[in-house]
Each structure stands twice: as structure tokens, then as C-alpha cells.
Amino acid sequence: MNRSPIKLLVLTLAPALLGLAVFRAYPIGLALYESLYTTIGGERAFIGLGNYLDLLTDAGFWKSLRVTLWFNLIINPLQVALALALALMFVQKLPGMAVFRLLFLIPIGISLPVAVIIWRIVLLPEGFLNGVLGGVGLGPYRFLTSPDFALYSIIAIATWKGVSYWMIFLVGGLQNIPPEIGEAARLEGASPWQRLWLITLPLLRPTLLFVLVADVTINFLLFAPVFMLTGGGPRGSTNVLMYEAYKSGFVFGDMGRAMAIVVCLVALLLVIVGIQFRLLSSAPPKETP
């Protein structure tokens, strides 16, 4: 029996590869292709890199890019750090942990649009949060309509929704670390802080890498809260690139510009994810015998 493993490999990988081709490669290819076209006088016209050259001098695009980068610079470290802290608490065997676990799993069960609607009610000037703050003599604050608050309100909502989800992955990673290692370190006299920095985090690195990459990707493409709560305003303070692309394509019918923005976004994501891979997936230093 001379069976080639290649055939088996192809056969088993085919569904995944097909999905990747249809749902990932094809849309990216299509976006690239469409970004080279525009409509002039009702006729579709090839303009090469014209849409990209326009973006270079497009103040709206650059402002949106700045908002996207600032948003991600805050939300990604925040979400990963909070998810890690929650995961570390989650695996502790303390009294009352069942309630804690239940509380933090609730956001996962709520769909993003529903969560956004609930948060809108909480954050409105006459909403719950201002009611509570008013009780102690503060506010009212315009959490969704003030340029100083709106982006941070979006960050808070997305974080509330996302943290528990990423926590689940980190809990899985933590439970994969053999408990003997930590136990041995404890017997050697390592403090809890040392055990976290020197044992838990290095061993959690593959999971952390996945969470970081997936979280960054999702947050760069975040759309629903902006669409539902702020419409990119006030003063463009929440106008992330995804929303700018949506408006360009589906509100203004300027599909060429929308696709050029999407391609820039994908390119930016590829660079950032590439850097993350380089920083986090380097092999751990070899032990000297």
C-alpha cells in the first residue's frame, strides 16, 4: 500500500482552503480590483492608482486614519490586559467564583447590536449613568455627543463586550500550563509576581499572540457601535476607517474610494500583525545545560 499523504492532506485541508479562498482571498482581490476603477459620467472607468492618489490629499481620510490608530492604540492593550487579569482571576479557586464567572460570561451571550442599544440607553444625557452621577452632584455628561467623550464611550462599550470573549481563550491557555511548573517555582521560593512574569506569561505566549492578533483585527474593523451610536461624529472623533469606507461606498455610492480605503486598511493590518508575529513568536532562549 503506497498511499501518498499529499492526497490526504489536500482532501482534509480542502474545506478550510476553499473557505479561505471564497471568504477571504476573493473579497480582498475584488476590493483591490475595484479600487482601480471609478465612475465618470455614468461609465465605469479604469483610473489605475487614481483613487489612492486622491486619498493622499484627502483630509477626511487622514483624519479618519488618525482616529483609527488612536482608537486601536488604546483599546487593544486595554482589552488584552483586562482579559488577562480576568483570566487569572477566573482560574483561581476562591469562594464566590461561580458568580464572578457568570457575570463575566454574560456579555458574550449578548449580540453586539443589542449591547449597543442597551449602552445607548445607559449613556444618554437623561440616561441611567447620568442619573447615578447626578445623585452625587456630577454631570450631566454628553457621553455620546461630546467630542471629548464619544470615542472613549465607544472604547468602553467594545471593551465591555470583548473582554470576556478574549478571557475565554486566555483561560484555555492558562489551563494548558502544567501546574507542576508553577508548583516547583513556588517551592523554589518564587513570589507570585515572579511566577506570573517568568513562568505564566512566557508559557502563555502562543495564546496571547492569537488573542492579540485576533483582537487587533476585530478592533481595526469595528463598525457597529460607530454606525449605531455616533455616525462618526462628533467632530469626526469616532470616524474610524471602516465607517468612512462604508459611507463612501454605500451612502455616497463612491465604491472606488471605499475599496481604496479598505485596501489601505488591510495593508495596515497586515503590517501591524506582521510586527506582532515577529515580536511575540520569536523562539524562547535556549537553556544552557
Partner 1 sequence: MTRLPILTTALAIGLATTAHAQTTLTILMIEGLDKGAMEAVAAQYMQDRADVKVEIQSLPWNQFFQVSEMRLKSGDAAVDLIYTDAPVVAAYAANGYIQPFDAAVADEAKAKLVAPSVTAGTYDGKLYSLPMNSSAQVLYYNVDLLKAAGVTPPNGLTKGSVANPDAIATLASTDRWTFEQIAEAAKAVSGSEGGKAKPWGFAFEQFAELYQLQPLGGSLGSDLISADAMTADSYLNGEAWTKAATWWSDLFNSWNVSPRSLGFGEAAQMFTNGQLAMFVGGTWNVAAVAQSSINFGIAPHPKFADGKAATPTGSWYLSVTKASPDAAAATDFAHYAALSDQGTDIWFDKLNQLPTTNRLLDKINADNSFDAFPASVMRLSAWESRNTAVARPVTVAFSQLQDAFRTAFTDIANGVAVDEALATAVDSYDQAAKRLNRK
Kindly tell me which of 225 and 236 has the beta carbon lying closer to partner 1.
236
Kindly tell me which of 144 and 155 has the beta carbon lying closer to partner 1.
144
* Type of residue at 237: S
- CA distances to 86, 105, 172, 265 from 80, in Å: 10, 16, 15, 22
Find the largest Cα–Cα distance for the chain. Answer: 82
Alpha helices in the chain (DSSP H): 5-20, 26-34, 50-56, 59-90, 97-109, 112-123, 128-135, 150-175, 179-187, 192-195, 201-220, 224-225, 241-246, 255-280
Instruction: Kindly tell me which residue out of 74, 118, 120, 142 binds partner 1, with binding defined by CB under 8 A.
Output: 142
Least distance to partner 1, CB of residue 158, Å: 22
If DSSP codes are grouped into helix, strand and coil, which group holds residue 176?
A: coil
| Region from 35-43, 99-107, 186-194, 273-281 binding partner 1, contact rule CB under 8 A | 35-43
If DSSP codes are grouped into helix, strand and coil, which group holds residue 44?
A: strand
| Region from 104-112, 145-153, 179-187, 197-205 binding partner 1, contact rule CB under 8 A | 145-153
Least distance to partner 1, CB of residue 245, Å: 14
Cell of 187: 517551592
Kindly tell me which of 173 and 249 has the beta carbon lying closer to partner 1.
249
Least distance to partner 1, CB of residue 243, Å: 12
Instruction: Kindly tell me which residue out of 74, 78, 145, 214 binds partner 1, with binding defined by CB under 8 A.
Output: 145
Kindly tell me which of 41 and 285 has the beta carbon lying closer to partner 1.
41
113 in contact with partner 1 (CB under 8 A): no
Residues 89-108, interacting with partner 1 (CB under 8 A): none
280 in Cβ contact with 209 (< 8 Å): yes
239 in Cβ contact with 182 (< 8 Å): no
Kindly tell me which of 150 and 213 has the beta carbon lying closer to partner 1.
150
Q: What span, in angstroms and rounded, lies between the C-alpha atoms of 64 and 80? A: 24
Residues 230-289, interacting with partner 1 (CB under 8 A): 231-236, 247, 250-254, 257
Q: Residue 191 gets which letter from DSSP?
A: -
Kindly tell me which of 145 and 276 has the beta carbon lying closer to partner 1.
145
> Which residues sit at the interface with partner 1, rule CB under 8 A?
38-43, 54, 58-60, 125, 142, 145-147, 231-236, 247, 250-254, 257
